[in-house]
A and B are shown apart, each in its own frame.
Chain A
Amino acid sequence: MTTILIVDDDELFRTMLEAMLRKEGHQVLSAVNGSEALALLESQSPDLIMTDILMPDGDGIELITALNQQQRDIPIVAMSGGRRTISLEFNLESAALMGVKATLPKPFTRDSLRQVLADALQG
């Protein structure tokens, strides 16, 4: 059984993703921002992290940076509802450049989630 850490500030979305992942047979941990995720990662070792990019109090980019620095080899899937625009500086493309395993633009369907998870967990 795989354990997946969800990091997202949107409570409704987090609740949905938790339910969906549990239904897919995964164990789920969740955090509301990057800082909380890092604190959680001190005691936990999930098989995969699914993180939003833009969050108040420690966003996904900071989380990815910290994990890269710690050399924690946990595959990351970056999620975001935003795309590259004038105002949103950090985005899925920035995450992709930072070496995340996959990017998943929101909203996504269960099929695309399954596909991305299968690829990301394969190694």
Chain B
Amino acid sequence: MAAVRPRAAASPPMPDTTAQAPAVRDATDSIAERYARLLHQAVLGDDPLLVETALAEAAELGREMMRAEIPLEEVSEIHHDALVALAQAHPQLLLAKVANRITAPLMEAYMAYSLTFREQLEHRTNAILNARIDQLRRLESIGTLAAGVAHEFNNILGSIIGFSELLTDEIEADKPGSQYLKHILQASFRARDLTARLLTFARDMPEVREPVDVVSVAAETLELLRATLPVSIRLTLEASVPQAWIMADASQIQQIIMNLCINAADAIQVRDGRIRIGIEPRLHGAATEPRSDSPLEPAQPLLRLSVSDNGEGMTAETRARIFDPFFTTKAPGKGTGLGLSVIHGLVTSMGGTISLESTPGLGTRFSIDLPALSGSLQPAAREPAALDENAPAVRNKNASAALDKNASAAHDENAPRR
């Protein structure tokens, strides 16, 4: 007979299986010790009631293991160790006799473990979702408040700027007062830019899809950004077409460009920061496509809107999580982490895709491909359509400077807004 090497230290105390009372649970027992005891009871118990009790305890232990966040592979290990200890304590045991009892406790524990896991997962998901909804509601009410404040503020600034300009007429240019007035106006313009920022972010997105010229929107947004971003950052717009029409809500396009540029500016640590907004037609199905999330019609002409910077770039880890809601690398209070996930949502809802390339230390480029209106990306102007005299006079002086004048209003009878 082979020598038995009892592992006293590892072996759990074996209860008297003939006793009618179930194993008394000692609160100080570790889960492994309790499992070893109940396995013993389940395998060797004579009384069917004892075996059932052991199996019930296995299920309870499974739940406890989940709650104690014991990894799944350790659950099998606990079973393995208990089984080895049992075999060492009872070397005479025949496998054939107890085969059906050996795995029953493990199966019970496993099942309870995974059920508890699912419950916890559901619970956590709900908690996260509720937290997000709460946060969105808070953001929304902050947005409403900001919009109201900005509105009132604009009215007040209207009076300050107007009266200051009137006063300019009254004061001779060489008097110190004239200089003071200039300062009042400068300060007022800064306040005006601030309210513009406030309003841009307070804005929500009622879906008003209409033909929008991305080039004009980008040019307009650029002006707003120039007033917002540090002067040390050079902001350029390069459009390879005079106009680029897509079906969209102009304010959403503006929001996308604003957010990407502000993110870019935040990533720029160098002295000569550069942000470039690019607009160009894109051949669909290019093999270099880095990542695309939604299927696009093969025949659909695409417009590529890109924002690149020479900022600090991103690590692969950040890249992988960049579109996750509430993910942010910014300091607390500097970003909600919602910007890029919102952009991702907007782009997807427009039937487009967003991708990014980034090299740590060199910079980042976000590329957005959007379905363009057919025939809207030709570099040559089509026959200009007459502007409807009664068309809404939402003017866009900034954009027209960047545009080929001949091409303006070339877009059919849809009388687009911009």
Contacts and interface: CB of A to CB of B under 8 A. Distances in A.
Interface of A: 10, 12-13, 15-17, 19-20, 23, 54, 80-88, 92-93, 96-97, 99-103, 105-110, 119
A99 B192 CA distance: 27
A101 B393 contact: yes
Contact of B165 (A81, A99, A102, A110): A110
Contact of A86 (B147, B188, B192): B147
Contacts of B157: 81, 106-107
B161 A96 contact: no
Given A84-B251, A88-B147, A16 B163 contact: yes
A93 B251 CA distance: 12
A104 to B, nearest CB: 10
Interface of B: 140, 143-144, 147-148, 150-163, 165-166, 169, 188, 192, 195, 199, 202-204, 206, 251, 390, 392-395
A82 B151 contact: yes
Nearest to B199: A83
A87 B169 CA distance: 38
Nearest to A99: B390
B155 A13 contact: yes
10 contacts: A10-B158, A12-B156, A20-B166, A85-B147, A86-B143, A106-B154, A107-B154, A107-B158, A107-B188, A110-B162
B393 A105 contact: no
A48 to B, nearest CB: 13
Contacts of B147: 82-83, 85-88
A107 B199 contact: no
Contacts of A97: 392
A71 B152 CA distance: 32
Contacts of A15: 159
A35 B394 CA distance: 26
